[in-house]
Amino acid sequence: MSHPLSTLRWCTLPICLVLLAGSGAVHADEEDHERARKALEAGEVLPLTAILERVERAYPGQVMDVELERDHVNRSERWIYKVKVLRSGGALVRLKVDARDGTVLGSKSKGQPVAGER
């Protein structure tokens, strides 16, 4: 018969590993948040509210997800908002929006380009 403390030790190890792995993700999220805050303060990106107002006018629906990322294109970097919008007909539209000026750079709906967009 195994000792209860040895069983507890074996259960504790996986829990500790999960907690340690999760703490790295939290740290990365904090770094991302800080980079985004600095970009906003430096005028490199528009506030999310301004982006969402523009998206809502052109693509009415429910915003499901927003990400702010650094995009590397032709040896230059720029901030891109990636926005997912659920349209009234049920289509999910994925938008790439230039974070500096709010221009929609590209869009896809169910894997296909949306009519009228680049």
Look at residue 89 in the predicted model and tell me its pLDDT: 84
- What pLDDT is attached to residue 56? 94
Better-predicted residue by pLDDT, 9 or 50? 50
Q: Give CATH for domain 48-113.
A: 3.10.450.40
Q: What is the CA radius of gyration of the chain?
A: 21
What residue segments make up the domains of the chain, in order of their start?
A: 1-42, 48-113
Residue 1: DSSP 8-state: -
Give pLDDT tens digits for 13-52: 455 444 455 544 455 567 877 888 888 899 999 999 999 9
- 0.85 exceeded by pTM: no
